[in-house]
Amino acid sequence: MNALAVTASLDDQVAALRERVGARALDDMGALAVRGKDRTKWLNGMVTNDVRVLPAGRSVYAAIVGLKGKILTDVFVDARDDEMLLVMPRARLAEVAEHFDRYVVMEDVFVSERDVQVLSLQGPGAGELTVATGARFAADRLGRGGVDLVLTPDEAPDALAALAALVAEGAVVAVSPEAWETARIEAGVAAFGVDYDGNNFVQEAGLTGRAVSFHKGCYLGQEVVCRLEMRGHVQKKLAPLVLDGPAPTAGDAVFVDDKEVGRVTSAAASASMPGRAVALAMLKHAVVEASSAVTVNGVAAAITARPVP
């Protein structure tokens, strides 16, 4: 999909994502379609959130975990009249499809890759906009509210043209990957493959509040997820940071006094707090719970629930 032309400054792009509406084509996103009369019941046993009463046109955020509770991917589950569409990073499609195939036994379920293109509108005004072309589903990707237009290749050009017209009118701001990442980190939203991966549990990635139902019944990996929740905490946890200086680099060590307590996973210069930076870091749980004063590259940093309210 051809990207929308970005003309606004980086600060204006981030401000749009935080306060109004920003748009971007998510070329790294793909989808799996789950079809068949048993699709809803079967899928409810494969994801961490509840999809049993998800009506057509609605969506829910979830994680897919393996038998040992480790995350395979995060996903937006979009319910349609005759299928459940799972929008996830394109790089995860093959492995997740293979994983699903192992657990389809006697059910009337068919899983296949679907050729889709995703245009995402993010920000508090995204839900009020109308773009006539393509299926539209709630998808809060940056912590301020948002929707995805999940398009077939035939629908994509018209939708992109309609969105470009909204950009020209000033109703929407086209945003770059850099602005997207800055807004994401300023909101404290973790990204799969960046801040956490297949080595992590949902509690380590901080996904339980958004992606996990503890009342939905059984699903693959549930025993591990629930046991970790009942235990009270995991050994490490992702946390947002605000730094009084330049942005660190992913992989930089985080210290309490002279003791290393974790590593930065993503970081950016803040567009909302001049002279400061924001980051996400995987830290020891005790450090996060105590909101300990930390440093990164000698720069003071504060652990915060959300860097930019």
Please report the pLDDT score of residue 133 as a whole number. Answer: 67
- Angle, vertex CA 61, rays to CA 279 and CA 102, nearest 5: 110
Please report the pLDDT score of residue 87 as a whole number. Answer: 98
Residue in this structure with the two tokens 């139902």, named with its chain if needed: 213
| Residues in contact with 114: Cβ distance below 8 Å, sequence separation at least 6, in sequence order | 30, 31, 32, 33, 85
Please report the pLDDT score of residue 223 as a whole number. Answer: 96
Buried/exposed 60-87: b ≥16 CB within 10 Å, e otherwise: bbbbbbeeebbbbbbbbbbbeeebbbbb
Give the residue-averaged pLDDT of 104-130. 95
Please report the pLDDT score of residue 132 as a whole number. Answer: 65
| Residues in contact with 119: Cβ distance below 8 Å, sequence separation at least 6, in sequence order | 1, 23, 24, 25, 26, 131, 134, 148, 149, 151, 156, 159, 160, 163
Q: Within 10 Å of residue 197's Cβ, how many Cβ atoms?
A: 14
Distance CA 249, CA 76 (A): 29
What type of residue sits at position 222?
A: Q
Q: How many CA atoms lie within 13 A of 10 on its CB side?
A: 13
Distance CA 286, CA 27 (A): 38
Distance CA 136, CA 120 (A): 10
Residue in this structure with the two tokens 């046991």, named with its chain if needed: 227
Residues 159 and 26 in one domain: yes
pLDDT category of residue 1 using cuts at 50, 70 and 90: low
Last residue of a domain, one of 150, 185, 220: 185
Residues 168 and 107 in one domain: yes
Residues 20 and 103 in one domain: yes
Distance CA 100, CA 158 (A): 33
CATH code of 24's domain: 3.30.1360.120
> Is residue 194 one of the residues assigned to a domain?
no
CATH code of 249's domain: 2.40.30.110
DSSP 221: T
Last residue of a domain, one of 155, 170, 185: 185
> Is residue 127 one of the residues assigned to a domain?
yes
Residues 109 and 176 in one domain: yes
Please report the pLDDT score of residue 121 as a whole number. Answer: 96
> Is residue 253 one of the residues assigned to a domain?
yes
Residues 240 and 142 in one domain: no
Residues 285 and 140 in one domain: no
Q: Tokens for 159?
A: 């939708």
In percent, how much of the chain has pLDDT > 90? 92
Please report the pLDDT score of residue 134 as a whole number. Answer: 72
Q: Within 10 Å of residue 112's Cβ, how many Cβ atoms?
A: 11
Question: What's the structural domain count of the chain?
Answer: 2
Residues 163 and 248 in one domain: no
> Is residue 218 one of the residues assigned to a domain?
no
Residues 127-142: tens digit of each pLDDT: 888 776 678 999 999 9
Give the residue-averaged pLDDT of 280-307. 94
Strands (DSSP E) found in 6-158:
22-26, 29-35, 59-65, 71-79, 84-89, 110-114, 117-122, 135-138, 146-151
> Is residue 221 one of the residues assigned to a domain?
no
Residues spanned by the domain of 290: 235-309
> Is residue 229 one of the residues assigned to a domain?
no
> Is residue 224 one of the residues assigned to a domain?
no
Has residue 2 got a pLDDT over 70? no
Last residue of a domain, one of 185, 200, 219: 185
| Mean pLDDT of all residues belonging to the chain | 95
> Is residue 270 one of the residues assigned to a domain?
yes
Has residue 238 got a pLDDT over 80? yes
Residues 13-31: tens digit of each pLDDT: 999 999 999 999 999 999 9
Residues 17 and 81 in one domain: yes
Residues 81 and 154 in one domain: yes
Residues 179 and 257 in one domain: no
Residues 240 and 174 in one domain: no
Residues 35 and 153 in one domain: yes
